[in-house]
């Protein structure tokens, strides 16, 4: 048994016995306060949950004041502390206002703002990092017909997911932070970002693509294979003598293959004209 626990038990029993005997103890209130102070001192401090935002909003304050969250975490807002925050004791960080600018900077290792600096510290220190899906600016843009530029932007988000960022709907954030089964949803959404990257990997130069339903196939157009080349145009001469003029006319019509029979007579100038124009002569 630890020393503090022994002291608490002894003091509690003494006060209980005195109360049963009807004795009034001078300084009993002080003694009770001592017991309470010892009890409070034995409790482990709650892990920290830091809300990181670029501007104040209702959603982030609702999270800070959530009674269930505060039972598990010591909540704080970096903006309310003018971003003068130590990551020691912080277990989880929730990002709000994840703009495309901040997203790209984080994915590229640029920390030129208090927001990106603290988020980068959280990633480097292995903190749990969450972002509500509704707070990701990239998700607000149209999803149809993704071009290479949007695929590139999706690649930045995919990088952050690979670094440890978890994305989940705002409605499920409480359950995720409390460690309930909904955290599987957060992982699934994050994993979907990575899986959706495959179609754009070749075109964007990086893994990318937003986790949209498979039916949309957002990058199919940008990444579709090149069309097959058409077969070269060819003709068969029926006339007996094939002259240079015949070859020149065929070349003007885009002919690349000329089939001739054994009965055809091909002049020397015709052969030279065909060779000069890369026309293949096939005798049947």
Q: What is the mean pLDDT of each run of 10 residues along the chain (284 residues)?
A: 65 74 59 58 78 85 89 91 90 94 94 94 93 92 70 90 92 89 45 46 40 43 53 83 88 88 86 87 84
pLDDT number for residue 122: 93
Q: Using CA atoms, how far apart are residues 233 and 226, in angstroms rounded to an integer?
A: 20
Q: How high is the pLDDT of residue 212?
A: 43
Angle at the Cα of 236 from the Cα atoms of 234 and 239, rounded to 5 degrees: 145
Handedness of CA 167, 119, 149, 226 (dihedral sign): negative
**pLDDT number for residue 17:** 75
pTM for this entry: 0.53
Phi and psi of 52, rounded to 5°? -115, 115
**What is the model's pLDDT at position 121?**
93
Residues 95 and 129 sit within 8 Å (Cβ to Cβ): yes
Q: Could you tell me whether strands 234-236 and 128-132 are parallel, antiparallel, or unpaired per DSSP bridges?
A: unpaired
């Amino acid at each position: 048994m630890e020393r503090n626990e022994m002291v608490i038990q002894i003091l509690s029993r003494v006060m209980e016995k005195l109360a049963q005997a009807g004795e009034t103890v001078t300084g009993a209130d002080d003694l009770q306060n001592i017991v309470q102070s010892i009890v409070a001192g034995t409790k482990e401090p709650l892990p920290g949950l830091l809300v990181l935002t670029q501007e104040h909003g209702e959603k982030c304050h609702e999270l800070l004041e959530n009674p269930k969250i505060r039972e598990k975490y010591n909540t704080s807002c970096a903006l309310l502390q003018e971003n003068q925050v130590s990551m020691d004791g912080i277990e989880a960080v929730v990002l709000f206002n994840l703009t495309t600018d901040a997203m790209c900077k984080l994915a590229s290792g640029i920390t030129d703002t208090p927001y990106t600096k603290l988020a980068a510290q959280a990633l480097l220190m292995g903190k749990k990092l969450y972002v509500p899906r509704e707070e990701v600016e990239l998700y607000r843009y149209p999803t149809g017909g993704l071009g290479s530029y949007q695929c590139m932007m999706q690649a930045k988000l995919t990088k952050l997911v690979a670094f440890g960022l978890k994305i989940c709907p705002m409605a499920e954030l409480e359950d995720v932070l409390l460690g309930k089964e909904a955290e599987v949803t957060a992982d699934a959404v994050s994993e979907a970002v990575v899986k959706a990257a495959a179609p754009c990997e070749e075109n964007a130069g990086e893994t990318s693509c937003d986790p949209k339903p498979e039916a949309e196939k957002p990058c199919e157009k940008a990444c579709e294979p090149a069309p097959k080349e058409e077969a070269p145009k060819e003709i068969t001469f029926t006339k007996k003598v094939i002259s240079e003029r015949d070859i020149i006319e065929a070349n003007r019509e885009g002919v690349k293959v000329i089939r001739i029979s054994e009965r055809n007579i091909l002049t020397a100038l015709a052969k030279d004209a065909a060779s000069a124009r890369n026309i293949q002569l096939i005798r049947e």
